[in-house]
Structure 1
Amino acid sequence: MYHSVSFVMFFAIYLLLSSAIYKLVNKRALYPLHMLQLEGYNESEYRAWIRANGEKIKAFRYKPTSEKTPLVMTDRATRLYKVHCHLNAALIGASFGVAVVLWKEHAALSGIVFVILCLLIGYFQYAILIYANRINYPREMKINQGFYDAAQKKVRDLKEKGLQVVGITGSFGKTSTKFITSTVLEEAFVVQNTPSSYNTPMGLSKVINNELDEKDEIFLAELGAKEPGEIAEVAELVQPSIGIITAIGPTHMHLFKTIENIQKTKYELIEALADDDIAIFNYDNDYVKPLADKTKKRTIRYGMEDIEKLDVYAKDIAVHERGSSFTLGFKDKGEVKAETKLLGKHNISNLLAAASVGYVLGMEPEAVARGIKKVEPVEHRLNIVDGGTGIIVIDDAFNSNPVGARAALDVLGQFEKGKKIIVTPGMVELGDMEEEENYKLGKEIAGVCDVAILVGKKRTVPIQKGLMDAGFGEEKMIVAKNLDEATASLGHVAAVGDVVLFENDLPDSYDE
């Protein structure tokens, strides 16, 4: 009788413990789910993140890394989380079963083994998620294929009714160019574009299925890729008749390995165009120029150099603290004065990409110039934030690249009053070029800035070396552990009239 009562008590206590542990491990699972989502549910990239983030894995509580890209419980994330929870339930149930078997022989050992097994389940949530993702993968692929097929058919049907699809790709400038082009084309057309950085098959399928309709005359589709073949897949979905390559440079080099691989991947957009479609190229970019020159389809070249070779160009450029002005030229259509609120020459290049689409679609230079004047800066992409403190903030926090970083420093250099302060962790995802490019960045910062606040003691070593080799005083350099510490330091050095450039923001999944 006593033995029976003891077993009932044991069973009830362990059942309560199992329930509590189940809730705890499922809560802990949110952080790895967040990281897997940030890595696009890609197992190899998620595994690389795990290898690089031992300290975060040891933490037993979930803490969102940033408000910039929080965990979003999409339908896919919800389905994956449920599978993960079922795996946790099965593992905890198995641990409970082991404890029951052991209790009959040794009650104390039963408790010890149960606790150890539950701790292991909690610790290995990161690994358990990999298996949950594998289990969920076939279902997701089937769902995705259904969305993809429906979106592809919808685009095909709408194109037969006159829809023009513009595909935009490049190492950088895609999102800015998309929003700029939308504003410019709205002077003459009904335009639908994709929000934010929606540039994957599923992101584009969602917009096409839910938002694109018969009233739209132009669909602007941003095409992104992290490996060869992905642009071709997205192009097959959106079926562009106009393709733009904005720029090519050393971004995501840890994935692409070489510039040649990036060129080949971006050119998949041009290869997807029909023979009578139109390819638009940034002819100022050294890596885009040869792609334009080898293209047999009708090509439109834009830029600010070698104007005699261009179809759309800008000249007489004047860049100032609050924007830019220039002469916009269309080959065979004349020139017009244009003004913009955007900062930096690289944004003029993005404006020219938009102007090239207008040119192809028959817009007059004056209409394009009106659209250019209405373009607003894209958040976190070299836009001025004036919070009324007397300190001007230039926000260029979106993931940086060497061309964009130099453009941002050029803009900072245009300000004549007050100290020029940069807050930056440097550039990431440049592969083998990262250390060299950050060293160069340090030397360039030294030529513009009065104070440099660097985020990350280890990762900014190349920038520190570049600064010192350029003669930048060590007393003007602040190396902070994280952004919070950097912001606190900024509060001590910035004064009314100063200009602060926030250049780049580390990915949410990044850690030293």
Structure 2
Amino acid sequence: MKNLPLSVIIRVLEGRVLSGSVTKTIKNAAKYGEHLITDESLVFLLKKKASLPLPANVRNITVVTSNPKALKQVRDDVTVIYVENARKAYYRFVSYYRSLFNLPVIGVTGTCGKTTTKEMIAWILSEKQQVVRTKLSHNGLARNLDYLLEIDDSTDSAVFEMGVSGPNQLLYSAHYFRPQIGIITAIGTDHIEGFRSQDAYIAEKAKMLTAVGKKGTVLLNRDDETVRNLDLREFTGKVLYYGQHSTAHYRAHSISFNLKKNGMDFTLVCPEGEYAAFVPGFGTHNVSNALAALGAASLVGVKMTDAIRRLRSFEHVKSHLQFHQGRKGSLLIDDTWNTNPTSIEAALEVLAETAEGRKTVAVIGEIEELGAYSEQEHRKVGALVAKKNVDVLIAVGKEASPICKEAAKGGLHPSAIHHVNTQAELLTLLNQLASPRTSILLKTSMRRSFSNTLQALVEKPKKD
């Protein structure tokens, strides 16, 4: 965080000093009970409690509260500032802090692909810039202030993943981050139980158009039907598309799997010209993420040739279609970071395209947070499994049974369909199927599925 004089902050908060010194320098800001409180922190008490102890192991903190009677044992080194509404004062501070910096900020949202796209952008920019970014897929609202306060006078740009699991959450994040460039990677079905309907979920993702402001720029996935059909009539900013469609501003063609280099070759056509490009990792969805990242980097001033070169050395986030040597010499594909119908389709494509004659086994876990849409979305997954000609399906979890039923309807032989509910069942079955001629996709969620299944399946290195 940029160091700030308390005397200035008090005016921003519209506060009144009840006790303590105002000749302090603030070096951190925190919500009480949510963020780490360090020495010389500005601490916002947003909950009115009858008795609230202040941390004893930090010094020179400044407390902002609308209920000073709740404080216990206020030391001499603690400054107490009274405000009429602590939450509103907090927002005023956040807005003020963000206003201190004029830098490019890129926001990324979508049902899937947003973490990889964000990481690609950060990787490209970080070659010559100081970049602040959200960590992995940790995009919960409580973390927003932490990321914002990483911005200081040395920061050149920022790229933030903006996830949603309920109404108005995207605009809540936008209030902090103020992106001028927004990316929508894809809109499928995920985290939907927090919404009234699929339409409400789509509308929430579309709020990226509002988030970037009237003069902002949005990069939209032209190949995603829902994104392509978003209503842009009220948006007055700049709209750019990426994808394989001929009308995309950042377009990929001649896409191919490069098994020797473990990635995807493609030709990029963009306003700067036409280029041969490569992205590590498999799948046409990975090319789509790369197009968004290259487009965003170009918008903030990176030469396209430099961006393409930097992208070649990108390393994927753990458990995003990572390849391992599995049991009995099998090929194991780890895509256990998260799961939703859109990412399952992408993973099944990779399973098929990299099998090279091996028997394909798809281990697919139940999908979380679908609410009333659970059965229909699991059925869609079953239809996809049949369509992709998977040799063996193993569905994991109680909610996954519709996957099996729909796969059977799609033509997958019943003897090739298995439904398991325990890790022991899964490992026994995979031990029977594994061989050097078997390719196994593990596509389950990191949150609810068996946490150590992957470790049990990866071949252990032999000791000398």
TM-score (norm 2): 0.73
Cα distance, 1:335 vs structure 2: 1.1
Matched, 1:179 2:119: yes
AA aligned to 1:268 is K
Equivalent of residue 158 in structure 1, options 101, 121, 124: 101
Query: How many angstroms apart in 2 are the aligned matches of 1:316 and 1:496?
Result: 31
Q: How many residues align?
A: 370
* Conserved? CA contact 1:455–1:479, under 8 Å: yes
* Conserved? CA contact 2:121–2:293, under 8 Å: yes
Query: How many angstroms apart in 2 are the aligned matches of 1:502 and 1:145?
Result: 46
* Conserved? CA contact 1:198–1:204, under 8 Å: no
Matched, 1:354 2:297: no
Matched, 1:276 2:220: no
Match of 1:449 in 2: 390
Matched, 1:168 2:108: yes
Query: How many angstroms apart in 2 are the aligned matches of 1:255 and 1:297?
Result: 29
Query: How many angstroms apart in 2 are the aligned matches of 1:168 and 1:491?
Result: 40
Cα distance, 1:147 vs structure 2: 6.6
Aligned residue for 1:316, secondary structure, equals: strand
Match of 1:213 in 2: 152
1:307-322 to 2 correspondences below 5 Å:
307=246, 309-321=247-259, 322=262
1:278-297 to 2 correspondences below 5 Å:
278-291=217-230, 293-294=232-233, 295-297=235-237
What do you get for the CA RMSD once the two structures are aligned?
2.9
Match of 1:421 in 2: 361
* Conserved? CA contact 2:341–2:380, under 8 Å: no
Matched, 1:483 2:423: yes
AA aligned to 2:121 is T
Match of 2:266 in 1: 326
Match of 2:180 in 1: 241
Higher helix share: 1
Cα distance, 1:485 vs structure 2: 2.7
Q: Deviation string for 1:39-81 (max 9, x for gaps)?
A: xxxxxxxxxxxxxxxxxxxxxxxxxxxxxxxxxxx954999xx
Q: Deviation string for 1:60-110 (max 9, x for gaps)?
A: xxxxxxxxxxxxxx954999xxxxxxxxxxxxxxxxxxxxxxxxxxxxxxx
Aligned residue for 1:479, secondary structure, equals: strand
* Conserved? CA contact 2:167–2:194, under 8 Å: no
* Conserved? CA contact 2:136–2:317, under 8 Å: no
Matched, 1:472 2:412: yes
Higher strand share: 2
Pair 1:75–1:483, CA change in 2 (3 A): farther
Aligned residue for 1:291, secondary structure, equals: coil
Query: How many angstroms apart in 2 are the aligned matches of 1:438 and 1:493?
Result: 24
AA aligned to 2:252 is A
Aligned residue for 2:137, secondary structure, equals: coil
Query: How many angstroms apart in 2 are the aligned matches of 1:471 and 1:312?
Result: 38
Aligned residue for 2:160, secondary structure, equals: strand
* Conserved? CA contact 2:329–2:434, under 8 Å: no
Query: How many angstroms apart in 1 are the aligned matches of 2:203 and 2:282?
Result: 30
Query: How many angstroms apart in 1 are the aligned matches of 2:33 and 2:328?
Result: 42
Query: How many angstroms apart in 2 are the aligned matches of 1:426 and 1:184?
Result: 35
Q: Deviation string for 1:109-159 (max 9, x for gaps)?
A: xxxxxxxxxxxxxxxxxxxxxxxxxx9xxxxxx988777655443322122
Match of 1:368 in 2: 307
Match of 1:57 in 2: none
Query: How many angstroms apart in 2 are the aligned matches of 1:501 and 1:509?
Result: 14
Cα distance, 1:466 vs structure 2: 1.6
Aligned residue for 2:362, secondary structure, equals: strand
Pair 1:466–1:389, CA change in 2 (3 A): same
Q: Deviation string for 1:480-508 (max 9, x for gaps)?
A: 22234312321221112421101122643
* Conserved? CA contact 2:216–2:237, under 8 Å: yes
Match of 2:166 in 1: 227
* Conserved? CA contact 1:187–1:368, under 8 Å: no
* Conserved? CA contact 1:147–1:205, under 8 Å: no
Cα distance, 1:387 vs structure 2: 5.7
Cα distance, 1:167 vs structure 2: 1.2
Tell me, which stretches of 5 or more residues in structure 2 are unaligned? Answer: 1-31, 38-69, 71-84, 451-464
* Conserved? CA contact 2:171–2:211, under 8 Å: yes
Match of 1:459 in 2: 399
Matched, 1:501 2:444: no
1:59-98 to 2 correspondences below 5 Å:
76=34
Question: Who wins on radius of gyration, i.e. which is larger?
Answer: 1
Aligned residue for 1:374, secondary structure, equals: coil
Query: How many angstroms apart in 2 are the aligned matches of 1:434 and 1:170?
Result: 19
Match of 1:303 in 2: 243
Match of 1:492 in 2: 432
* Conserved? CA contact 1:257–1:431, under 8 Å: no
Aligned residue for 1:377, secondary structure, equals: coil
Pair 1:442–1:151, CA change in 2 (3 A): same
AA aligned to 1:401 is N
Query: How many angstroms apart in 2 are the aligned matches of 1:365 and 1:77?
Result: 39
Pair 1:145–1:174, CA change in 2 (3 A): farther
Pair 1:483–1:154, CA change in 2 (3 A): farther
Cα distance, 1:256 vs structure 2: 1.9
TM-score (norm 1): 0.66
Query: How many angstroms apart in 2 are the aligned matches of 1:508 and 1:345?
Result: 27
Pair 1:474–1:170, CA change in 2 (3 A): same
Query: How many angstroms apart in 1 are the aligned matches of 2:228 and 2:322?
Result: 28
Query: How many angstroms apart in 2 are the aligned matches of 1:478 and 1:376?
Result: 34
Cα distance, 1:407 vs structure 2: 1.0
Pair 1:483–1:75, CA change in 2 (3 A): farther
